[in-house]
């Protein structure tokens, strides 16, 4: 009689050179996940309360932010949501219907039904200035159902829904360009992207509403994922860092603000309410190191959310929201953030040591971005002589012993070195090692020392393109 020998799977993997990936990478454990640690330990040259930006420079950037933010209310026609671009989206997905949330293939009939409901033959059939009344999502097509290229998870599958463009905070000015045939979806433009949103998430505004809302004095949310209550203690609106509201007064640690709601006819109405000064501050928040690390700490450990799905952030949403309280406007897409704002310093074709040297010498902590294709990171300094970054990251590209591509999932906002996961034997050294692919350093608000003015920022970005998020 032969006795059956059972070898544990993990032992089989080790024998054949395929060691399983760890739960976390070394950087997550060895680097303190607390921005305040670097100030408390005095590992930065500036004092915590020293202004990183001169007040006059920040005021100019804040005025530019406001002009861009409200620009959709002053456009006579769609600025970016052109008919040919919208038609191209339907054509693209008709050629590849993909998979749904049930891992079953979408049918071409499903795509055609969405296209029929879009009623593009009458585009644009609406030009209304409006506002979001709750957090919503910009969608490629008028549906909340997802589209994946593959039925499995990661990059071309869950959670990377190809129809998700971006989340949009409550009380964001929008331009309604078009309504679907069934009137349940609206194609809208925001100050940073365009897409389809459910009609129940928006409300039309009149001239009096817009005049009161665009008042020139604003409060900005500095505490993430909080609720604002009305005077009766009932829920009014859910907020997140970077949202702005008209500010009408300040009393005893409280900020009196305006919020938008909707009436029975779908028109926007204004309500007054109050929120703690720990939740809302006067915009722009002074750009000190103390304030910078306080805002950055609001995002630590936040789960990764592709295109803002599930109320979370991806890499470019986090950097965008980080700068918003300081009155610094960024586009939505990572490449546009790196290439169209501030000073772009090309790091391509340099070896890792040269890149690190330039980053340490020229980078301004908490005011500089590092960029690789599909991913953007906030440079936060070099407390031990080596650069540290803060980024919301999905994962690191790996190759197992059989050459199959995989991911070391991080899936949240973390502080790392430029070599996260370098200790992993399965890390793809070419594409997975971050330093090898970093292509640029962008100083978001560089100063012209002679005129003490920031360099010009770029204009509005039309949409968030699908980022090649291999990291």
Q: For 176-203, write each residue's pLDDT tens digit.
A: 999 999 999 999 999 999 999 999 999 9
83-95 and 108-118 helices cross at what angle (nearest 10)? 170
Closest C-alpha among 242, 397, 414, 415 to residue 317: 242
What percent of the chain stands above pLDDT 70? 89
* DSSP letter (8 states) at residue 114: H
Judge contact between 131 and 173, C-beta under 8 A: yes
pLDDT at 2: 53
| Closest C-alpha to 220, from 272, 255, 173 | 255
pLDDT band at 454 (very low <50, low <70, confident <90, very high): very low
* Cα–Cα dist 150/110, whole Å: 17
Calpha distance 469→471 (Å, rounded): 5
List the CATH code of the domain at 213-282. 2.30.30.40
- Residue 460 structure tokens: 């509005």
CATH number at 26-55+286-454: 3.90.1720.10
Side-chain half-sphere exposure of 395, counting CA atoms within 13 A? 21
Q: What is the pLDDT of residue 403?
A: 85
Predicted pLDDT at 41: 61
Longest dimension (CA), the chain: 91
User: What are the DSSP E strand ranges found in 119-224?
Assistant: 128-132, 136-139, 164-168, 173-179, 185-189, 194-198, 202-204, 218-221
Across the strands, what pairs with 39?
none
Is residue 387 over pLDDT 60?
yes
Report field, pTM of the whole predicted structure over 0.85: yes
* pLDDT, tens only, 329-380: 999 999 999 999 999 999 999 999 999 999 999 999 999 999 999 999 999 9
In the chain, where are the structural domains located? Answer: 26-55+286-454, 71-209, 213-282
Architecture of domain 71-209: Roll (2.30)
Of the pLDDT bands very low, low, confident and very high (cuts 50, 70, 90), residue 464 is very low
Residue-wise pLDDT tens digits, 12-40: 444 444 778 888 999 999 999 999 987 76
Q: 3-state SS of 288-321?
A: EHHHHHHHHHCCCCCEECHHHHHHCECHHHHHHH
Contact in structure between 332 and 66 (CB atoms under 8 Å): no
- Pick from 95, 97, 90: nearest CA to 151: 97
The domains spanning 26-55+286-454 and 71-209 adopt the same CATH topology: no
Q: Is residue 7 exposed (0-12), middle (13-18) or buried (19+ Cβ within 10 Å)?
A: exposed
- What does the alpha-carbon distance between residue 117 and residue 181 come to, in Å, rounded to a whole number? 5
Percent of the chain whose pLDDT exceeds 90: 78
3-state secondary structure at position 349 = coil
Look at residues 221, 180, 174, 179 and name the one whose alpha carbon lies nearest to residue 193.
174
Q: pLDDT band for position 229 (50/70/90)?
A: confident
Q: What is the pLDDT, as a whole number, of residue 281?
A: 97
Q: What is the sign, positive or negative, of the torsion defined by CA atoms of 239, 242, 245, 250?
A: positive
* Residue 445, both tokens: 């608000």
Q: Is the peptide bond before 159 cis (omega within 30 degrees of 0)?
A: yes
Q: How far apart are CA 8 and CA 166, in angstroms?
A: 44
């Amino acid at each position: 009689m032969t006795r059956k020998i059972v070898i544990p799977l993990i032992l089989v993997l080790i024998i054949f050179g395929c060691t399983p990936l760890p739960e976390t990478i070394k950087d997550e454990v060895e680097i303190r996940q607390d921005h305040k640690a670097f100030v408390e330990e005095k590992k930065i040259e500036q004092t915590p309360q020293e202004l990183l930006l001169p007040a006059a420079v920040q005021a100019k950037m804040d005025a530019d932010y406001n002009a861009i933010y409200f620009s959709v209310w002053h456009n006579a026609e769609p600025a970016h949501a052109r008919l040919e671009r919208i038609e191209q989206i339907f054509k693209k997905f008709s050629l590849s219907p993909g998979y749904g949330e049930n891992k079953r293939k979408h049918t071409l009939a499903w795509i055609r039904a969405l296209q029929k409901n879009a009623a593009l033959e009458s585009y644009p059939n609406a030009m209304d200035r409006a506002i979001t009344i709750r957090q919503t999502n910009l969608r490629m097509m008028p549906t909340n159902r997802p589209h994946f290229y593959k039925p499995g998870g990661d990059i071309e599958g869950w959670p990377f829904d190809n129809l998700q463009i971006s989340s949009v905070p409550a009380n964001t000015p929008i331009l309604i360009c078009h309504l679907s045939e069934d009137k349940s979806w609206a194609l809208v433009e925001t100050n940073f992207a365009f897409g389809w949103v459910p009609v129940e998430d928006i409300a039309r505004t009149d001239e009096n509403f817009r005049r009161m809302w665009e008042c020139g004095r604003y409060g900005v949310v500095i505490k993430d994922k909080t609720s604002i209550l009305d005077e009766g203690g009932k829920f009014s609106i859910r907020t997140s860092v970077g949202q702005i509201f008209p500010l009408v007064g300040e009393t005893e640690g409280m900020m009196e603000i305006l919020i938008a709601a909707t009436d029975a006819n779908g028109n926007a109405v204004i309500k007054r309410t109050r929120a703690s000064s720990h939740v809302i501050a006067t915009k722009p928040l002074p750009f000190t190191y103390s304030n910078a690390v306080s805002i950055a700490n609001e995002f630590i450990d936040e789960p990764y959310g592709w295109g803002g799905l599930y109320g979370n952030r991806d890499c470019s949403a986090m950097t965008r929201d980080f700068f918003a309280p300081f009155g610094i406007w960024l586009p939505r897409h990572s490449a546009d953030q790196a290439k169209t704002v501030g000073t772009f310093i090309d790091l391509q074709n340099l070896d890792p040591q040269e890149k690190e040297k330039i980053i340490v010498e020229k980078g301004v902590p908490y005011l500089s971005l590092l960029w690789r294709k599909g991913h953007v990171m906030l440079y936060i300094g070099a407390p031990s002589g080596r650069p540290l970054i803060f980024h919301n990251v999905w994962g690191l590209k790996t190759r197992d012993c059989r050459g199959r591509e995989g991911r070391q999932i991080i899936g949240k906002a973390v502080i790392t070195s430029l070599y996260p996961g370098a200790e992993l034997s399965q890390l793809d050294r070419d594409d997975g090692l971050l330093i090898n692919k970093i292509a640029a350093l962008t100083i978001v608000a560089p100063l012209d020392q002679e005129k003490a003015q920031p360099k010009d920022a770029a204009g509005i970005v039309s949409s968030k393109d699908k980022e090649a998020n291999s990291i």
